[in-house]
């Protein structure tokens, strides 16, 4: 097993009302997606290990968003921040906090439904090695955020999301 990790050092503020911890599996690496992600023009994708290792630091400080139906991305509905990212085997595992004071109903809803929730990454500046391939191998990219959504709506069914 190989582990690569990065984290932002956040000061500990015991009982902070606007920091509710979360952790999740954002995506799988070196594995084709179960369904095409948005922006992939109908292609399933595979994030290469080398590209993911280079992009891992770009996750730190990025926002977590959601849609009211928990079925996609909305970069204007930011509900939290990513403070840690690590590559553990084939999983990109992240941690951070949700803005619990700002979104108390949403955090309660996510806590109750977390067995059904997954995650999806947001990337930019993606390069694909062969655009005519059935599965696009992404060889270069930067993470720009993440979304919490129903696992069944995620490109990778092996993702998960847990509220602390």
- Give the pLDDT confidence score for residue 2 in this predicted structure: 54
**Which pLDDT score, from 0 to 100, does residue 9 have?**
74
Q: Say how far residue 99 (Cα) sits from the centre of its chain.
A: 16
Contact predicate 20/100, CB 8 Å: yes
pLDDT of 14 reads 84
**Nearest CA among 51, 7, 102, 111 for reference residue 148:** 111
pLDDT at 156 over 70: yes
Q: Is 107 helix (H, G, I), strand (E, B) or coil?
A: helix
Mean pLDDT of 82-91: 97
pLDDT tens by residue, 42-71: 999 999 999 999 999 999 999 999 999 999
The pLDDT-based confidence of 12 (bands split at 50, 70, 90) is confident
- Report the pLDDT value the prediction gives residue 132, as an integer from 0 to 100: 92
- Confidence bin at 5 (pLDDT 50/70/90): low
Q: Is the Cα torsion angle 62, 29, 66, 44 positive or negative in sign?
A: positive
What global pTM score does this model have?
0.92
Structural domain boundaries in the chain = 3-7+18-163
- Per-residue pLDDT, 1: 56
Opening angle at CA 30, ends 7 and 132, nearest 5: 125
């Amino acid at each position: 097993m190989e582990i690569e990790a990065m984290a932002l050092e956040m000061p500990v503020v015991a009982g902070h009302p606007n920091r509710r911890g979360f952790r999740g599996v954002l995506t799988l690496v070196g594995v084709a997606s179960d369904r095409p992600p948005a922006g992939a023009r109908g292609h399933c994708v595979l994030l290469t290990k080398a590209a993911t290792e280079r992009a891992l630091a770009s996750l730190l400080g990025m926002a977590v968003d959601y849609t009211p139906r928990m079925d996609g991305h909305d970069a204007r509905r930011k509900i939290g921040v990513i403070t840690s990212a690590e590559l553990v085997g084939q999983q990109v595992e992240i941690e951070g906090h949700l803005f619990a004071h700002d979104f108390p109903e949403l955090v309660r809803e996510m806590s109750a439904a977390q067995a059904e929730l997954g995650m999806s990454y947001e990337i930019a500046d993606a390069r694909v090695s062969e655009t005519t391939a059935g599965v696009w191998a992404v060889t270069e990219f930067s993470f720009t955020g993440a979304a919490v959504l129903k696992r069944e709506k995620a490109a990778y069914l092996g993702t998960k999301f847990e509220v602390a």
